[in-house]
Structure 1
Amino acid sequence: MALQKLAQLNSARVLGILLMLTTQGVSAEVTVSMKDVVEVQLGGTATIQCTPRFSEETNTVLVQWFIMGLDRRERIYYMDGTDSVADNGTEYTDRISVQEEDYTLAISNVGLSDERAFICQVGGMSAGNGENRTELRVYDAPEFPEIEGTRSGLSITSKELQKVASCVSRNGYPEPQITWYKNRSPLQTEDEKTEVMAQVTREASGLYTVSSSLLYKVSKEDVNSTFYCEVSYRMPGAELMMDSRVINVTVHYPTLNVQLIRESPKGLVKEGDEVELRCIGDGNPPPPYTFHKLSPSTEEEEDLPVDTDVLILRGVTRVDSGIYRCKSLDVETYMEMSSELKVVVNYLDPIVLTPSGSAELLLGETLTVSCNALSSQETRVDWMKDGQEMGRGSTLTLANASFDSAGDYICKVTVPAVPGLHRSSSVRVSVLGDPVVLQPVQLEELEGSKVNLTCKATGFPEPSISWEVSGAKDYQEVAQHVDKNTAVSVMSVIVTPDLKITCNASNSLGSDEGHFRITLISVTPASPSSTEGSGVIIVGIIVGILLLAILGSILYFLYKKGKIPCGRTGKQEISRADSGKDDIVVEMKTDKTEEAGLLQGVNGDKKPPSDQVTMETPLRDKHKTAFSRNRRTVAPCVGRLRFLFISFLFFFGVVREVHRPTELREREKERKKERKKERRLKKQNGPSLILTAPSTPHIVPY
């Protein structure tokens, strides 16, 4: 069957050729329309259209597709009215197909070798024949461009162009183009400062790899310049571009200036600081530096062992003050530059106190303390005691010293211009004086009761307290305490009629004593007559209370029944005639009691006609007036009850005062007198502990 079909196909081909040959002399014509170029991406499917137009109608159409070889063309497809087949033994046998409707050729899996001319030939028997061709173009996008900058720096002193970077674009078709950019602007190869070297390599796959190197003459302004390459390539129907990453290059330039600066501390330098000096040059890379210190007398240089551009001076003193110098030598130009900086180390010497350590003075004397310290800057002196400021200046005067003047005085010297530069020292001042016993309190206690007596004394040296007790069998010292210039002792004793207690305070300068006064409270047994009198008074008070309660109840009951006219009114007429004037008469009437009128007239309620007030004001004469009205007389029952209650309280107080023993009244009077006396003593003998004022010994109750 295959052989038979092949024989038929060959006979048809022969017949078609014969027909074409026999019709060559005929004037019929066939026109074939095709695109000049068809573009396709590598690996895709290409479609090439073939549109014939016949000058005469024909029943049989013969279509053949050819490719152009090196020296001849080769048929790859044949189609007539009955058969449509791809030629065997060609590279397109399994990759092409032709549509019977419009004779369009489809090529699948397009490769680079398919980039050639494809010819479509159409024969119409007696209608004639014609052909046309289309060029197939194949494209493939390259990979992302790779850029690599030069690893070594570029010197601005070089007279030749130096390689800045290289750019590679791999596996593109057709070969891509590479353009160089600096700071987003394309570099022109016509410039003497720019040169581009390109290299194109065709890989075994048929794709192209393009390499490009940029040669450039850099300047100092290129320190912050950026470079990148751009790859441009063509794809079906579009021109595309890809940019590489942006790179910077290292530019080397010589050092022309050197500056020595102090990086720390920021303010003035003081003893104990860590000073950091840095040498800065304007070249790249930085040249090596050396540090030196100038001698103040000979100006000779003292070499300082430093291997970097930073000189660190730790724990500086005033000896480190002076002029420092740094030098640099450029390795390309062999030029030497230097810079100097003066360093001043501020200081504050230890404080000198006069007197120093401690000082003693007698009560009422005057002491002057001086505080001085040498410094490189102006100083300020402050005096402190117990956290409070006592004064400012190099001297402190304690006039009329008192016990409160004693203590530790701190002299603080600061240098305001140099933060953190300060010193302090202290002197202990002791005020010597006889002990002073504060006046003991006066007590009133029952016989046989136990009391605690407190003795407090001030003085320096610290006083010691002793007790003298007579007339008591049971007593003991329960507490003793000494704080600065004050001593305190507490004695516990049983109160007796013959009790006498004295508190003695003494030191090396003298002594003082204080006496405790204890007044006994005696309880006198009540006599039978007084007992009977008290009982009669109590019974009288109870009977009076009962009578007042009964009387109040009766009054309240009569009030509720209306027997007592509390707040009622009576009708009265008041008339007044004034000769020579008209008379005006006003009459007020009511038929009910005032209580009822008040109850019904509250909150603006309308009163009945019987409760309304009628007023008649006949005008008799222009200059005479007469008044007639009802005047209300109010009798408040609540006021009567209040009067009865106050009378009862007054009666009860009088009875209580008469019944109270005379001795209690006398004792209260004495207590009032003692309290007045104590207040008067406090006002007269108040404490005076100001440094500039004399302090007078005094006794105040404790």
Structure 2
Amino acid sequence: MKNKSYSFYDLKLKIYDNLAWGSDAVTALYGETILVPCNGGSPPPSNLMFIKWKYEKADGSAGDLLVKQDQKEATVEATDGYASRVSIDDKYNLLISGATLLDQRTFTCMVVSVSNLNEFPVSVLVHKKPAAVQIMDKAEVLHKDKPTMVGTCVVADANPAASITWKKNGHALVADDKAVVITSSTKVEPSTGLSSTMSILQYVASKGDAEAVFTCVSAHDLGDDAANVGPFSVHYPSEKVSLQVLSKGPIVEGDNVTLKCHADGNPPPKAFYFHIKGQKTLVENSDTYTMPAIARDAGGEYKCALADNEKMEASQSLVVNYLDLSLSPTGRVLKTVGDTLSVKMEKSASGEAIVSWRKDGKKVKEPAFTKLTYSDAGVYKCELTMGGITRHQSFELVVEGKPVITGLTKQRSMDGNHKVLTCEAEGVPEPVFQWSVNGSNERSAFSNGKATHKITVIPKVNLTVTCTVSNKLGEDAMTINVSSVFNEDPEKKDSQEESDDQAKLIVGVVVGLILAAAVVALIYWLYMKNSRQGSWKTNEKEVGTSEESKKLEENNHTV
């Protein structure tokens, strides 16, 4: 009889056929010891003579393994590879060390007793857990709208062969031969009979797949495994270009202005054309172009385009703001009290500008000086604003003048023991005060060209006191009579001084009235004289009554 050769695939079919006949089955682990029970592990009969294990060879013939007689050592009868691998335990179970896929066959336990002979066939399957999932040919990036091989997933050395599925972000991918193409295959290693499963994923990405994670999942009876591939960057060409002006505020003449050309492609383009006032400039390895110290006439439309596709372009209008302020005078301006000062402000702006004035930090109207006073002195600041742009210039006005005494007064103290003399003057620079008498408790004040100086005196006799004020432009003096504070009735003295002052006031009023009456009479006389001369020339009668003449005579008499 000729020997038959079987492939591993044919051998598996034969084993599964035996299982279909109703024989028992045992599943063993690859490389481990196979335990094959005899009669399902039931105890042998009491009149047992011996137990014999045999197996079905690849060609279908029977081969002997070993024989075990009751109370005796087992005898190995195998002459092939099983000779060193088989043994039997005390329960008559067949033990086969180092399980391989060649052990996937039917083993038969033959039980021989005095009264009977029974055979118990057992089919053996050997399973092998696959090696860890491996990812090969991993893609670097995905491409939008273009099939890209994500990677090759390999699950090796398994029995039976492992199955593979692909997931994206945790969701199973279903092949549609368009956006998702999955190609799977299984290969058997001839030397071991172990199977390796391989699956290739091709995927058509979209922009939304950026940072997506793909997972290869291996499923097997002895355990599942998985390996991730990704995340991936998705590459796609630019679909839109924009031009930006990098500026925190309005662009002002003299600023450095940077233009940025942005394209939405991935990876971003590395070269651009910038169209600057009719000139085309290529910029490589950058998406910006800087114009230093931009001029006011540089406003207008600017463009940028992709270097490799100039049809993809964008434009942006650029407005250059400018604001000029010219003020005359500026700096320190020295004038004399009573002088005039012309202030001229000129402005030039690209838009509506607002002018404001401040004097010594306080808001004022635009200054106009026709006759300078000491109070006009100060620091004037003109500020011009337009949007977020500000210009300002200033001048310091100093008004000088010869000192003039505006008042000299005296005042008795409440206790009558001394008198306080007050001298008031106007002048810049600040006047220096000098008195013709010695005083104490001196107090001074100076503001806006007005100066005050007070001294305390104790006159022992009646005095004529002179106050003199001076600065670099000149001097002025005034006197006042000061009576003694000794040997006099303060109330009487004050009353006398007050009466003298009142008398002087009355005399002044009377003299003023007399002068006013004289002027009125003179004017009336000239009027009447002219009226008479006019009537003589026209041969008309003089107009007037006797009562009017009488009144005129009375007025003349009164004057």
Same fold (TM over 0.5): yes
* 1:95-122: CA deviation from partner (whole Å, max 9, x where unpaired): 755342xx44455665555544433222
Structure 1 counterpart of 2:279: 302
- Counterpart amino acid of residue 186 in structure 1: L
Q: CA separation of 1:335/1:375 partners in 2, compared to 1, >3 Å: closer, same or farther?
A: closer
Q: Per-residue deviation at 1:177?
A: 3.4
CA distance in 2, matches of 1:437, 1:88: 150
Greater alpha carbon shift after TM alignment, 354-363 vs 285-294: 354-363
Q: Is the 8 A contact 2:407 2:424 kept in 1?
A: yes
Write the deviation string for residues 560-612 of structure 1: whole angstroms up to 9, x where unpaired.
xxxxxxxxxxxxxxxxxxxxxxxxxxxxxxxxxxxxxxxxxxxxxxxxxxxxx
Q: TM-score, normalised by structure 2?
A: 0.66
Q: How far apart in 2 are the matches of 1:242 and 1:166?
A: 13
Q: Using the alignment, how far apart are the partners of 2:466 and 2:249 within structure 1?
A: 68
Match 2:476 to one of 511, 521, 531: 511
- Partner AA of 1:289 in structure 2: F
Instruction: Letter of the 1:214 partner, please give it.
Output: L
Q: Which residue in the other structure is 1:530 paired with? A: none
Q: Given the superposition, is the C-alpha separation of residues 373 and 191 from structure 1 closer, same or farther in structure 2, using an over 3 Å criterion? A: closer
Instruction: Quote the Cα distance in structure 1 between the aligned partners of 2:478 and 2:66.
Output: 147
Which region of structure 1 is more displaced relative to structure 2, 204-213 or 337-346? 204-213
Using the alignment, how far apart are the partners of 1:343 and 1:164 within structure 2?
46
Secondary structure class of the residue paired with 1:70: coil
Residue by residue over 1:452-490, the C-alpha shift from the partner in whole angstroms, topping out at 9 and shown as x without a partner, is x897755343143242334x6xx7999999776355778
Aligned match for 1:277, one of 237, 259, 283 = 259
Q: 1:409 aligns with which of 354, 362, 380?
A: 380
Query: Are the aligned partners of 1:437 and 1:458 in contact in 2 as well (CA < 8 Å)?
Result: yes
User: What letter matches 2:212 in structure 1?
Assistant: T
Distance 1:132 1:199 in 2: 32
CA RMSD of aligned residues (A): 4.9
Preserved CA contact (<8 Å) 2:408 2:424: no
| 1:73 Cα deviation after fit | 4.6
Of 39, 54, 58, the match for 1:66:
54
- What is the match of residue 245 of structure 1? 229
For residues 158-196 of structure 1, give each alpha carbon's deviation from its aligned partner in whole angstroms, at most 9, with x where no partner exists: 7xx653433343554444333344563424275597363
Alignment of 1:302-321 (within 5 A): 302-304=279-281, 306-307=283-284, 308-321=286-299
Query: Who is 1:485 aligned against?
Result: 449
C-alpha displacement at 1:503, in angstroms? 2.9
Gaps of 5+ in 1: 1-32, 295-300, 525-662, 675-702
Q: How far does residue 289 in structure 1 lie from its aligned partner after superposition?
A: 1.2
Task: Answer 1 or 2: which has greater strand percent.
Answer: 2
Distance 2:304 2:188 in 1: 56
**Conserved 8 A contact 1:63-1:121:** yes
How far 1:142 moved relative to its partner? 2.0
The answer (yes or no) to whether the contact 2:463–2:481 under 8 Å persists in 1 is no
* Structure 1 counterpart of 2:404, one-letter code: P
Partners of 1:458 and 1:170 in 2: CA distance? 114
Matches of 2:34 and 2:110, distance apart in 1: 19
Correspondence list, 1:444-459, <5 A: 444=413, 459=426
CA distance in 1, matches of 2:179, 2:359: 84
- Cα deviations across residues 262-311 of structure 1 (Å, max 9, x unaligned)? 2x2254322243332222334444443111123xxxxxx21346333212
Secondary structure of 1:291's counterpart equals strand
Matched, 1:358 2:336: no
1:375 CA displacement? 0.7
- Assess if the C-alpha contact under 8 Å between 2:106 and 2:121 holds in 1: no
Aligned to 1:260: 243
Question: How far is the alpha carbon of 1:428 from its aligned partner?
Answer: 2.9
Which residue in 2 is equivalent to 1:188?
A: 175
Question: Are the structure 2 counterparts of residues 489 and 136 from structure 1 closer, same or farther at C-alpha, using a change threshold of 3 Å?
Answer: same
The secondary structure found in structure 2 opposite 1:350 is strand
Question: Equivalent residues in 2 for 1:157-176 (5 A)?
Answer: 162-176=148-162
Larger radius of gyration: 1
Q: Which residue identity is paired with 1:196?
A: T
- The one-letter code of the counterpart of 2:359 is K
Contact preservation (8 Å) 2:87, 2:94: yes
> CA separation in 2, counterparts of 1:170 and 1:462?
106
Pair 1:521–1:68, CA change in 2 (3 A): farther
Question: Which of 294, 303, 311 is the equivalent residue of 1:336?
Answer: 311
Residues 68, 257 of structure 1: alpha-carbon distance in 2 compared, 3 angstrom cutoff: same
Measured against aligned partners, the alpha-carbon deviations of 1:24-74 in whole angstroms (never above 9, x if no partner) come to: xxxxxxxxx9874333444555544333699x9752263333344434554
CA–CA separation in structure 2 for the residues paired with 1:461 and 1:268 = 46
Give the count of matched residue pairs. Answer: 468
Aligned partner letter, 2:326:
I
- Hey, what does 1:230 align to over in structure 2? 216
Aligned AA (2:221): M
CA displacement at 1:340 relative to structure 2: 2.2
Instruction: Give the deviation of 1:76 after TM superposition.
Output: 4.2
Equivalent residues of 1:369, 1:396 under 8 A apart: yes
Which letter does structure 1 place at the counterpart of 2:230? V
Q: Aligned residue for 2:302?
A: 324
**Residue identity matched to 1:462:** P
Contact 2:141–2:235 under 8 Å retained in 1: no
Q: Which amino acid aligns with 1:435?
A: V
Asked if residue 422 in structure 1 is aligned to residue 409 in structure 2, the reply is no
Distance 1:329 1:437, change over 3 A: same
State the alpha-carbon separation in 2 of the partners of residues 84 and 493 from structure 1.
Answer: 151
Structure 1 position 345, deviation (Å): 0.5
Question: How far off is 1:251 after superposition?
Answer: 2.8
Percent same amino acid among aligned pairs? 21
Q: Is the 8 A contact 1:467 1:501 kept in 2?
A: no
Q: Is the 8 A contact 2:155 2:162 kept in 1?
A: yes
**Structure 1 residues 108 and 404 mapped into 2: Cα distance closer, same or farther (>3 Å)?**
farther
Q: Contact (CA 8 Å) 1:194, 1:214: kept in 2 or not? A: yes
| Matches for 1:271-670 after TM superposition, within 5 Å | 271-287=253-269, 288-294=271-277, 301-304=278-281, 306-307=283-284, 308-330=286-308, 336-353=311-328, 358=333, 360=335, 362=337, 369=343, 371-391=345-365, 395-397=366-368, 402-415=373-386, 418-419=387-388, 421-431=389-399, 434-436=403-405, 442=411, 444=413, 459-470=426-437, 485=449, 501-507=465-471, 508=473, 511-513=476-478, 520=485
TM-score, scaled relative to structure 1: 0.54
Match for residue 89 of structure 2?
98
Whether contact under 8 Å (2:242, 2:313) holds in the other structure is: yes
C-alpha change, 1:206 and 1:371, in structure 2 (3 Å) is farther
Q: One-letter code of the match for 1:511?
A: D
| Code of the aligned partner of 1:504 | T
Distance verdict in 2 for CA 1:411–1:132, change over 3 Å? same
Residues 456/405 of structure 1: CA separation in 2 closer, same or farther (3 Å cut): farther
Structure-1 separation of matches of 2:483 and 2:57: 148
C-alpha distance after superposition, 1:310-331 (max 9, x if no partner):
122233231321221212243x
| 1:62/1:124 contact within 8 Å kept | yes
8 Å Cα contact 2:337/2:374 also seen in 1: no
Letter of the structure 2 residue corresponding to residue 322 of structure 1:
G
Aligned in 2, Cα 1:435/1:215: closer, same or farther, shift over 3 Å?
same
For residues 466 and 231 of structure 1, do their structure 2 counterparts lie closer, same or farther at Cα, with a shift above 3 Å needed? Answer: closer
State the partner residue of 2:525. Answer: none
